[in-house]
Amino acid sequence: MMRPKAALLAFMLLGAPGVATSIGATTPAPATAPAAAAPIDRQALVTRHNVTLTAIDRHAPVMLGNGDIGFTADITGLQTFPEQYSELAPLLTMAQWAWHSFPNPENYTEASGLIPVDVPGRGQRPYAWMKSWADAETNPAYTWLRANPHRFSLGRIGLTTGDGQPLDFAKVTSPTQILDLWTGTLTSRFTYDGQPVEVVTRVHPTLDAIAVDIRSPLVSAGKLAALVRYPGVKPSINPDPSDWTNRGKTVRQAQTSGAVTLKRTIDETVYYSRIAGSHIEARGEDDFLVRTKQGTKKADRLSFTVDYAQQPVDGALPATDQTAQAVAGHWQRFWTRGGAVDFSGSTDPRAAELERRVVLSQYLSAVNGAGELPPQEEGLFSNSWFGKFHLEMHPWHAAWQALWGHADLLERSLPWYLGNLDNARAEAARHGVKGAWWPKMTGPEGRNSPSLVSPFIMWQQPHPILLAELVWRADQRHTVLDRYGELVEATADLLASWPLDRNGRMDLGPPLIPAQENYDPLTTMNPTFEVEYFRWALSTAQAWRERRGLARNVDWDRALARIAPPAVKDGLYLPTETTPDFWTIAMSDACRKHASQPQCKNRDHPSFLMAYGFISGARIDRDTMRRTFEAVEASWDIRQTWGWDFPMMAMTAARLGAPEKAVDWLFADLKNNQWGPTGMTPRVHLDEHADELVPVSAGAGGVAMAVNPDGAGYRRAAETYFPSNGALLWAVGLMAGGWEGSTGHAPGFPKDGWTVRVEGLKPAP
């Protein structure tokens, strides 16, 4: 439940409910280990958190998928009633490979979105920088380059009457929908017009195919069918890209009474789709009715499969019964081969809810964050930022996979970096430095999208080293070093050459915007987290050279010795070296009450805490970080945080020896930390001046926004935010499985009230 403004202010000043007023300096005794060493009953652990819905939740349709395709289902198990759901929760079918661009008659290129920026010591360098949103109005190249390429929805599958007419929602009664996580099966039961209906929906594990099995007397009576529809792409794109007016072109390449093969063309985008099962009739160029054939002996079962692919696929689609076996086997392997954490037996009343969040986050992350590309923040659920992915979020989405025994899932997206090495090297060369420069907001082509912020974000630069290291720790074979050695080398070359050499010290920035994004890029220098993360990654890259039998790189060692230290003043870490008065201003009455004022920077991500949480910075003083953590609790406008901030703070608290605080921060009762019935969390922006519907705005990812009815001043910019799920799994993995240098069982959980059974987790770095 969203809380009133006064309560939020009290939270901001006093900290999270139950958070202690001081962090202990010593590591507490480990959490109580289970009395018996019996293996965790994986099936019981998973299935006690199956999703059950008995009514439409307008903001939380159920998702099915295999990592490369996602299918969002309504209460009927299909996509029958999209109008019953929030505009921020569209019913889509999206694939990692499904990208589209609108025509480009002006021939905009990457250079069209670059402007020169003065870089100390390097002259003018090209950045994809929009200085204001007004720039997008005066330079249409910015708009085109931001919006293209973009993800789109491949199709919609819904129930209809026997002759293809829409169902009447008022005739749907007594719905019960169960997502069986153990078998990846969605079973939806309801009554329509007085008759029972059961719909079972699955997504094939290796084909981008949706298998549907419908049982009802209405089927045998010819009164219930299914309609497969193919949309175009509308210019607004976000959050629902489907255009039902201009739908592209559909060509039937082959058709029998029980199968049809289609070629779809939208501008220059081409993809293929097949429908197989029962009787299929074309209803116009882009719609296909699936029903029982008239004049035959009818059964009450209607089964069919729809698939989508980039290229034509040979062979027949599997029968729905075959798909059922494949899907069940896939998900059972997922749940049994990876890590697990079981909180049963805990007396803390929050334990069952944390276990639910963990199980559902594993499922959602496997569906949305384990594909051939780094995931976008909304995964395959909807579009924000045109469906592009933000590389600085990649670890929050997927680092947990290697720690939880699923390094193979993480490795599905790492080839994108290898395939874009040449682009990244060209970007580094344009900036006059060595190595590979990784974009922030991009699509599969690897081009940085114009933005007020994106071109100056740099904390994604070490990520390939972190992700490769996690894979290595999970599978210490030389083949891992061979596979990612070049990626690690090129990334480390950038980390060592991009800092600016000033009087024997190497400074990060300017220009630079840290992970806490509310800083001037032209004046910001040496953010605490970034200076430590650059050094951590360079040290790790040197370890990779030694593992490969190579000599240490002297340029990297030079950078390690000379990168600026984390800035400290009055016993507290500063967010950046160039904000020496940060804490004086943050603790003033004005900023405690109105942190949105320009001089107040105590909002957004408290990312400097990541220097002793996300990583364990070698130069971080534990006592100084402890005091800094407490200062954040006392003065931060915690309303203006995102879903990954709470697990991030839990990681820091755990490393500081404060497991009670770690758990409390996982449960911070704030708008961006609300966990719905399907395990999804919202992304909410604070706008203290918003008092009416806010129109579509590229400034918030191009997503439609609306003021929440129970919280004036808040506007919701997307309904789900998957970095929350991945970050929770990373944090719980660290707290339960430990980290490098930790001791004892489940060192991040309190001893009292928590029984933590752990299997298959790797310690965090």
Least confident of 255-264, 596-605, 733-742, 752-761: 596-605
What pLDDT was estimated at residue 245?
96
| Residue carrying structure tokens 């580094």 | 428
Query: Which pLDDT band, with edges at 50, 70 and 90, does 592 fall under?
Result: confident
Assigned domain for 603 exists: no
What pLDDT was estimated at residue 683?
75
What pLDDT was estimated at residue 35?
47
Number of domains in the chain: 2
Whether residue 8 has pLDDT greater than 70: no
d(CA 701, CA 286) in angstroms, rounded, equals 30
Percent of the chain at pLDDT above 70? 89
Query: Which pLDDT band, with edges at 50, 70 and 90, does 296 fall under?
Result: low
Assigned domain for 764 exists: no
**pLDDT tens, position by position, 375-404:** 999 999 999 999 999 999 999 999 999 999
Gyration radius of the chain's alpha carbons: 26
Assigned domain for 283 exists: yes
Give counts: helices (H), strands (E), the chain.
21, 33
- Report the mean per-residue pLDDT for the chain: 90
Q: Whole-prediction pTM value?
A: 0.92
What pLDDT was estimated at residue 297?
67
Q: What sections of 394-462 are H helices per DSSP?
A: 394-403, 407-410, 415-419, 421-430
Q: Please say which residue of 317, 334, 351 terminates a domain.
A: 334
CA distances from 718 to 73, 118, 384, 387, 507 (A): 18, 35, 7, 12, 36
Query: In degrees, to the nearest 5, what angle opens at C-alpha 305 toward C-alphas 206 and 205?
Result: 15
Query: Which pLDDT band, with edges at 50, 70 and 90, does 719 fall under?
Result: low
**pLDDT tens, position by position, 297-348:** 678 999 999 999 999 998 899 999 999 999 999 999 999 999 999 999 999 9
Assigned domain for 291 exists: yes
User: Residue 542: helix, strand or coil by DSSP?
Assistant: helix
Whether residue 722 has pLDDT greater than 60: yes
Assigned domain for 744 exists: no
Query: Which pLDDT band, with edges at 50, 70 and 90, does 12 fall under?
Result: very low
Query: Which pLDDT band, with edges at 50, 70 and 90, does 37 fall under?
Result: low
What pLDDT was estimated at residue 537?
98
Assigned domain for 7 exists: no
| Span 203-212, average pLDDT | 98
d(CA 632, CA 623) in angstroms, rounded, equals 14
Q: Please say which residue of 302, 334, 366 terminates a domain.
A: 334
CATH code of residue 186 = 2.70.98.50
| Span 146-158, average pLDDT | 97
Assigned domain for 606 exists: no
| Span 424-441, average pLDDT | 98
| Residue carrying structure tokens 């809810």 | 353
Strand ranges for 277-412 from DSSP E: 279-282, 287-291, 301-309, 340-342, 389-390
d(CA 664, CA 342) in angstroms, rounded, equals 18
**pLDDT tens, position by position, 49-67:** 999 999 998 988 999 999 9
First to last CA, the chain: 36
**Largest interatomic CA distance in the chain:** 88
**pLDDT tens, position by position, 552-565:** 999 999 999 999 99
**pLDDT tens, position by position, 648-681:** 999 999 999 999 999 999 999 988 899 999 999 9
d(CA 472, CA 111) in angstroms, rounded, equals 37
Whether residue 26 has pLDDT greater than 50: no
The amino acid occupying position 698 is A
Expressed as residue numbers, the domain containing 690 is 683-718
Whether residue 2 has pLDDT greater than 70: no
Whether residue 694 has pLDDT greater than 80: no
What pLDDT was estimated at residue 99?
98
Assigned domain for 444 exists: no
Whether residue 697 has pLDDT greater than 50: no
What pLDDT was estimated at residue 27?
41
